[in-house]
Structure 1
Amino acid sequence: MKSTLARHQRGVTAVAVLALVAAVALVASLVSARGEDTHATSMPTGPMELPGEWMTSQRLSDGVTEVSAATYASARSEAQSIERRTRNAYRHLAQLNWDFFGPANIGGRVVDIAIDPEVDDQIFIAAASGGIWKSSDAGMTYQSVWPDDWVQGMGAVAITSDGVLFAGTGEPQPGGGSITFGGDGIYRSYDRGETWENVGLEDSHAIARFAIDPSDEDRIFAAAAGNLFVPGGERGVYLTEDGGDTWREVLTPLNDTTGATEVVIDPDNPDRVYAAMWDHLREPHQRTYGGPGSSLWRSDDGGATWERMTNGLPTDDDQGRWGLTLAPSNPDRLYAYVGTALGPFRAFYRSDDGGDSWTQTPLTAAGASQSTFSWWFGKIWVDPTDEDHVFLAGVQLRRSTDGAMSFTNSGGIHVDQHKMAWDPDVPDRVYLGNDGGMYRSDANGATNTWTKATDEPYTQFYSVDAAETDPVLKVGGTQDNGCLRGYNGPGGRWDAIGCGDGLQVIIHPEDPTIVFGCSQYGSCYRSENSGDTPRQPIGAGQTTSQRRNWFTPLVFDPSDPDVMYYAGNIVNRSTDNGRTWTAISPDLTGGGPNDPAGYPWGTITAVAVAPTDGDTLYAGTDDGKLWWTDDVGENWHEVDSSELPGTWVTRIAVHPDDAKIAYATFSGFRSGSDRPHLLVTQDGGKTWSDIGQGLPDAPVNSVVPTSDGLLIVGTDVGVYLSAWNGGEWASLGSDLPVAATMYMRYHEPSRQLSVATFGRGIYEIDVPQCRAASTRLPLRDPGVGVPGVLASCRAAQ
């Protein structure tokens, strides 16, 4: 084996380099029939659809056709400028600390695992939108070894025999139409994650897998999947022969929409290398997840030349994502499967001669547990000591003991499997990463032998709410892990309280035992048992609407908790705390759906009620419309479209002391225009002004006005504070991980702000007290700000 001393010497002075890149990896997964899922319950589940369409459509609603790492690099650069200015001008704000509230016992999607060969019981994992984590107790608890202010989206992690770590950024699983931006190449660490440096492939967008040559660990292959939205870039299989210092392409894709998703080295003959290629592209009105570029390849000369494997394999264009692996105990035994271009499982194959020929096995679509989205998985694993012991990634983990002739479930785990890894030093110990986090089996993956990790703080949240009676009581909605209840304090255990994916979850303002939870597309419930059963359904059978958003608004009237609002494309009102509902609006959208193959446009995305006047409501839509009523829906008034950006309305908030002052936030990117992300009305909705100048050019997802004249916004790249009418913006604290802030909940009596991040769980901070001018004075000049307000802020007492 070639000495690795040289690369250690090269890395002695290497330090973590701050990447001015995409800060957020809003990676969507998909929701599947929950089967043996131990974290989601069956009532209600809602339609099992694709969150990626929702997230993508929000951020493309400004008319752009792609969201790239460069787009977020620009936004993150602007965010860093605000952070630097805050440190210099408002040190008291920069020094405020965010506290992690939880959960630690739920977890989130894990896409890769690397077992430390030198430290017993130590592993490293890649969380889909949460960075790189280390466990030193055989996979039970985890600590972050990735900078909080770097890109959080991950695709791969690997480790050499002497402990050099490699991390590949950007998740290659696209989630139907989801956002897979965020990757800015490959990183290397010589000290097991203490420091990192970027070592190349910055235009790869997503790294799907590494393969390290066991005979020469300076030789490492990387599978670059490419940008889901933009053809070209660094795609295919790349090789470094100097431990990561330089990379060169060794397998070029057949076309500019094809990327590599798997690379495997024969351990007995490292000159033999295999690769899987996938042809995929997401466009605004179409997703193509297969085509002529999807294929399997073999090299017999260490990657210098490649030959496509076709003997016994399909050669038509209806090939989606391939899964590919070999049996370590007999590298001539290969397994592969492929989906169709539209997503369903197509066929499973086996080779017993190193890929010279292939035979299709009896595995059917139903038996494969791939549902309609084989592209979400693309992974097969073989027991390193038994060539016939095979595991197939799917909704369920499928297990074969007869060389893939038949399969059964390896149950007792969360759904949607992404990675397995065997510990070479502990017989029968195998780790599993899926949409629910990390598991370990000490019985070689046998059914119901899995133990879930106990501390894994990388959950993807859509929303958070805190009880008005006690802000320690929190609930939230999560991707892949349902509606959750955290009534046990910071760091305490969270409990699953129904839902498929969890979206809007809210607590009754006066009684925290009354909880409402929503699955996707407005399949909601009402519980008088803190979210537990029995649950009264709210949704299509109880409310009036033809279309409902993935994140359907469900809100209380702040002045009367018995009054609630639910909105599909029509606003519904309840006066008996959600038991019965009456429609109070016409269709407030421009109609829909207008994209049958993608997101179903034409839904209400935000509703807000004035705290001081229950007759006044504001509503916003996915197609960029704003409405207001001051007579509880008897008459609705549409805001002149010339005053609006025309992009997705993400949130509306009404001033706590004045029903005529309201704020609306918008997704999308300005893309070089002056399109606003944050508007205010001073006259009850008639006219609106832009007060978002100075914020990063990134989606704004939430807004909170405080009663003492402050305004807080949560964005894809941070949380920012201003006087209530905008003007100058400052970062609120400096240690919040830069997974996107999707939702904020401000508890006025305690000044506690809770934020839901998509990949790093729930964080909270005490909002500072500031010298705020009268709310009347700034009305004359929105966007200018009140001099001295931010400079006067001090920690809340």
Structure 2
Amino acid sequence: MLTTLGLTTSQALAAPTPGAKPWQVRHLTETGHRHAERIASGPTAAAAEGGGEDEGDEAENSAEATEQFTEARTAPGVVAPGAYGAAWAQLQSMPHTGGSWDHVTGLRYDSDDPRYRDVDSNSSGGSGLVTGRITGIAADDDGYVYAGGANGGVFRSSTGGGHWRAVSDQLPSLSTGALSLDGSGRLWYATGESNTGATSYVGTGVYVLADPRNGEFRPGDRIGGPELESTTIHALRFAGDRVWAATSRGVWSHSTTDLSGPWTLEFAPNPGYLPGGADAKAPNAPYKNIANDIAVDPKDPSKVVVAVGWRGGDTYNGFYSRAADGSWQRVTSLGEMPAGAGDVGNVTFARSKDGSRYYAVQQSPTRTATDPDSGLQGVYVSKSGSPFGPWTSIADTDKLMASGSALQDEGYRPGIQSWYNQFLQVDPNDADHVYLGLEEVFETEDGGAHWTTPGPYWNFGFACWSIDPARQTGDCSPTTHSDQHAVAVGSRGGKPYVLVGNDGGIYSRPLNGTLDAYGHAKDWKSLNDGTIDTLQYYSVGVGKDPADPSGRGVVVSGGLQDNGQSVLRSHDRVMGSNFGGDGADTIVDPDNGCNIAEEYVYLAVQITRNCAVNDGSWIDDPAKATSYSVAPPDNETGAARFIAPITTDQKDARSWVAGGQHVWVQHKGFAIRSGEEWTSAYDLGAGHVATALASSGGRVYAGWCGPCNNSGFTRGIAVGNADGTGWHQLDLPVGGALPNRYVSSLAVDPADAQHVFVAFSGFSRAWTEGPGAGVGHVFESRDGGTTWVDVSVNLPDVPADSLRLLPDGGLALGTDLAAFHRAPGEKDWKVLGSNLPTTTVMQLRSGPDGKLYAATHGRGIWSVDPRRLDARG
């Protein structure tokens, strides 16, 4: 689950609806898949030439978001393929401590929980039960469904969806690019998430499960060798006796009858940028061979059209086909479907089962860069059934907006995230019946002449909706979560259904369902029943539950990608969502878990003192709201990371520290009511932004970067006092004791503020071609940072994310691979406990119950008792 090397995402978003009420503006600008109010300009030179940023921004996948997530793992250089595989191999030989991880979030998560119908939640939007992003789905005609989490692996259901079981946890990668059933009933699992998104991870290749109804994936199920390691795989397409893979390193194929032998590289538009090529170490190499999809002529499997190109635009973008002499040539004319480099970005094809139709949805790099409302080029059909057309237009953004879209009242139009949100599915029994996924789910029953929106973005804005449950008209239909990524058609008992995967999980409805008066589906069913947990946490916080009379219960809260802030109280049977949007970092009062500070993004901090439970009185009197915005000033100026660090002083819970360009401090704890109550303790410097913070007894350590990408990457650590005195930058020369990589975490000894540990993300110089990449991931100083010692010892060379000093003096470390533990007085590390899925451990936090909690970015929250980490593992 090494992050996509250099790939970035962004999204242009419009301003809030003019004249909206205050709570409506907050829904449009601060919730869910809502908007970071940062309208960006053009793309593409940076993206194409330097692997930098491009188009515009949307909160969970903004330009900054993606760049920042990837650069933490790649800067100061390009990471060579095989880095993650080598780390995983080393992990297999490491001993484990005692203790077993418990799954904390293995229960339902209700995004519409009426307890939290607050101004800052998405409750009542209509998405219902949710989990994390689903990026692959396959289904058969006997009720078996397979769903792949973005970074959570494959789950199986034998009931048409629900009662899920994980079936890929033995694999080294749980990042899902595509899932497909072939004609023999085998399940093909392409790893490496097929989105150029902020938290997309590359994979370790393609695996085939011969008996998916009963078996589980094993490492030995991989097809081919290491050819597809460290790639993302956008699509698998079957043609005759071969399977084709569209990847971030070109188009490859393999025999489906002989599964031995390597994959064959069929086409790469810029082969010099592939591993081993003359330009393989160039910063923009990851952008130069992106293949998005493959269309195979049903009448002649040797004839194919491939859609290639970086979504932000490049000269090689376009459609290509193979000539008679074996060479690949650009296709310059496809009828009404534009084929120019500026028009062809992300593309998805879909063919009817009878071969009479081909459909395509196309994102335009030019439109994405210039149109603040949508990047969609259009939807097209080839009525000849040939991928060579002629193609005719059947929908554009305006036609879709008029079909019942929820976006029409929100200042932007369908396809605004078409670089990120795409699926197409043709009804196997009707070539004119098509499902289209963008931000919403669209449907046509007549080949595109007319469209409906069975899955609108949300119900906010419709006449049937009010944030006050008592004022709703009662006819708002449930919808899916927004941001569509995967689709399949299955059946059970002869009843066909369509399944869709999106940023909120997996949903189904009858293939030919019913619509309400608004043209929205009345029959969506959430399949996120709590047995599937692909939740992508950035953070976790734990505090005592004030409602638990025993005094032993806790409240567990955490920030999530596009699923807000979850809250789980000690006696809950379902989690609720008390804040919307992307949940970033979190502060929870250990003595009262209903005191919660939640960061949206870019230091947009909000607080609640009652778990954000609200009696609704604020609807008519905003002064009665119980959630407060307390964002430090760097939020307004944009001088902060997408996921910016916030923390408390470990000796004074009322002293908070937040990091942007400045190190901000406030001493009121949860009594703070305004962002103006923060004071700047230190200015890290123009262009510098905090990446990690630790504070103990008023002594503050702040890790920072700037520039944070490969172009002149610089990192540092500043040290000083919370009162603004004694600040200085540590002397950290490139090539010195500490690596020139991203500072991801700091931990201070509570008994001695001069005793500090620092963790670094990225891979060492064995894999990273960049100045001063260095070796090691964890370092220790006993003199306040003047000198450092590498204490990584036997740790795998993999990005480190979170350090935690345990009460007994032991160290816990969360990485992109696993969690590790170093016992007091020991030098070597062990794998921390057992039973934790192989996924990214984004943050470790201790709870007042003595347990250690892990926020994973793909498999929810887990806990372990550190007192059981004995030496017998």
Q: TM-score range by the shorter chain?
A: 0.7 to 0.9
**Residue in 1 aligned with 2:144?**
122
Determine helix, strand or coil for the equivalent of 1:58. Answer: helix
**Residue in 1 aligned with 2:89?**
77
Determine helix, strand or coil for the equivalent of 1:410. Answer: strand
Output the CA distance in 1 between the equivalents of 2:153 and 2:380: 34
Output the CA distance in 1 between the equivalents of 2:154 and 2:247: 19
Determine if the alignment matches structure 1 residue 560 to structure 2 residue 668: no
Determine helix, strand or coil for the equivalent of 2:92. Answer: helix
Determine if the alignment matches structure 1 residue 660 to structure 2 residue 684: no
Q: TM-score scaled to structure 1, two decimals?
A: 0.80
**Residue in 1 aligned with 2:863?**
764
CA change 1:278–1:180 in 2 (3 A) is farther
Q: Among 308, 313, 337, which residue is 1:278 paired with?
A: 308
Letter in 2 for 1:279: G
Deviation at 1:266, TM superposition (A): 6.7
Output the CA distance in 2 between the equivalents of 1:171 and 1:571: 35
**Residue in 1 aligned with 2:68?**
54
Superposition map of 1:542-553 within 5 A = 547-553=639-645
CA change 1:185–1:794 in 2 (3 A) is closer
Which string of whole-angstrom CA distances, capped at 9 and with x for unpartnered residues, describes residues 538-565 of structure 1?
2256978650111122222333333222
Higher RCO (C-alpha 8 Å, min separation 6): 2
For the Cα contact (< 8 Å) 2:604–2:635, is it kept in 1?
A: no
Determine if the alignment matches structure 1 residue 587 to structure 2 residue 683: yes
Output the CA distance in 2 between the equivalents of 1:125 and 1:483: 24
Output the CA distance in 2 between the equivalents of 1:725 and 1:680: 14
Letter in 1 for 2:656: M
Determine if the alignment matches structure 1 residue 339 to structure 2 residue 363: yes
CA change 1:189–1:104 in 2 (3 A) is farther
For the Cα contact (< 8 Å) 2:380–2:393, is it kept in 1?
A: yes
Superposition map of 1:320-399 within 5 A = 320-328=345-353, 331-341=355-365, 343=368, 344-355=375-386, 356-364=389-397, 367=400, 371-399=415-443
For the Cα contact (< 8 Å) 1:290–1:321, is it kept in 2?
A: no
Output the CA distance in 2 between the equivalents of 1:376 and 1:525: 28
Letter in 1 for 2:421: F
Output the CA distance in 2 between the equivalents of 1:506 and 1:155: 33
Superposition map of 1:564-713 within 5 A = 564-577=656-669, 578-580=672-674, 581-589=677-685, 591-592=686-687, 602-610=688-696, 613=697, 615-623=698-706, 624-630=715-721, 632-642=723-733, 643-672=737-766, 674-713=774-813
Q: Among 108, 126, 149, which residue is 2:132 paired with?
A: 108
For the Cα contact (< 8 Å) 2:541–2:586, is it kept in 1?
A: yes
For the Cα contact (< 8 Å) 2:607–2:629, is it kept in 1?
A: yes
Output the CA distance in 2 between the equivalents of 1:769 and 1:247: 45
**Residue in 2 aligned with 1:485?**
567
Letter in 2 for 1:56: T
How many residues are treated as equivalent by the alignment?
Answer: 700
**Residue in 1 aligned with 2:487?**
420
Output the CA distance in 1 between the equivalents of 2:524 and 2:454: 9
**Residue in 2 aligned with 1:789?**
none
CA change 1:157–1:288 in 2 (3 A) is same
Letter in 2 for 1:417: Q
Deviation at 1:755, TM superposition (A): 0.5
CA change 1:148–1:432 in 2 (3 A) is same
CA change 1:111–1:270 in 2 (3 A) is farther
Deviates more, 1:304-313 or 1:477-486: 304-313
**Residue in 1 aligned with 2:30?**
44
Deviation at 1:526, TM superposition (A): 0.9
Deviation at 1:309, TM superposition (A): 7.7
Which string of whole-angstrom CA distances, capped at 9 and with x for unpartnered residues, describes residues 318-377 of structure 1?
121222122335x32222232223542223322212233122335137847554442223
Identity across matched positions, percent: 25
CA change 1:682–1:725 in 2 (3 A) is farther
Output the CA distance in 1 between the equivalents of 2:635 and 2:289: 45
Which string of whole-angstrom CA distances, capped at 9 and with x for unpartnered residues, describes residues 653-700 of structure 1?
221322222222111221236434222222334433322232221221
For the Cα contact (< 8 Å) 1:224–1:237, is it kept in 2?
A: yes
Deviation at 1:305, TM superposition (A): 10
Deviation at 1:272, TM superposition (A): 7.6
For the Cα contact (< 8 Å) 1:742–1:757, is it kept in 2?
A: yes
Q: Among 272, 285, 292, which residue is 1:261 paired with?
A: 292
CA change 1:716–1:542 in 2 (3 A) is closer
CA change 1:299–1:431 in 2 (3 A) is farther
For the Cα contact (< 8 Å) 2:176–2:192, is it kept in 1?
A: yes
What CA RMSD, in Å, does the superposition of the two structures yield over aligned residues?
A: 3.4
CA change 1:254–1:704 in 2 (3 A) is closer
Output the CA distance in 2 between the equivalents of 1:755 and 1:23: 18
**Residue in 2 aligned with 1:15?**
none
Output the CA distance in 2 between the equivalents of 1:725 and 1:689: 15
Superposition map of 1:32-181 within 5 A = 44-45=30-31, 47=36, 48=59, 49-50=62-63, 51-61=65-75, 63-65=76-78, 67-81=79-93, 83=94, 86=95, 93=97, 95-105=98-108, 106-117=130-141, 120-175=142-197, 179-181=200-202
Deviation at 1:148, TM superposition (A): 3.8
Output the CA distance in 2 between the equivalents of 1:710 and 1:248: 45
Determine helix, strand or coil for the equivalent of 1:548. Answer: coil
Deviation at 1:713, TM superposition (A): 1.1
Determine if the alignment matches structure 1 residue 185 to structure 2 residue 199: no
Deviation at 1:482, TM superposition (A): 1.6
Output the CA distance in 2 between the equivalents of 1:560 and 1:542: 24
Which string of whole-angstrom CA distances, capped at 9 and with x for unpartnered residues, describes residues 106-129 of structure 1?
321112221134xx3211122221
Q: TM-score scaled to structure 2, two decimals?
A: 0.73
Output the CA distance in 1 between the equivalents of 2:526 and 2:103: 21
Output the CA distance in 2 between the equivalents of 1:136 and 1:31: 37
Determine helix, strand or coil for the equivalent of 2:89. Answer: helix
**Residue in 1 aligned with 2:584?**
503
For the Cα contact (< 8 Å) 1:382–1:391, is it kept in 2?
A: yes
**Residue in 2 aligned with 1:409?**
453
Letter in 2 for 1:128: A
Deviation at 1:464, TM superposition (A): 1.0
Deviation at 1:307, TM superposition (A): 9.4
Deviates more, 1:676-685 or 1:750-759: 676-685
Determine if the alignment matches structure 1 residue 435 to structure 2 residue 503: yes
Output the CA distance in 1 between the equivalents of 2:11 and 2:581: 7
Determine helix, strand or coil for the equivalent of 2:592. Answer: coil
Alignment gaps of 5+ in structure 2: 17-25, 37-58, 109-129, 272-287, 369-374, 402-412, 456-478, 546-551, 615-624, 707-714, 767-772
Letter in 1 for 2:427: D
Output the CA distance in 2 between the equivalents of 1:370 and 1:709: 53
For the Cα contact (< 8 Å) 1:662–1:680, is it kept in 2?
A: yes
Output the CA distance in 2 between the equivalents of 1:708 and 1:350: 65
Letter in 1 for 2:857: F
Output the CA distance in 2 between the equivalents of 1:741 and 1:336: 37
Letter in 1 for 2:680: I
Deviation at 1:569, TM superposition (A): 1.0
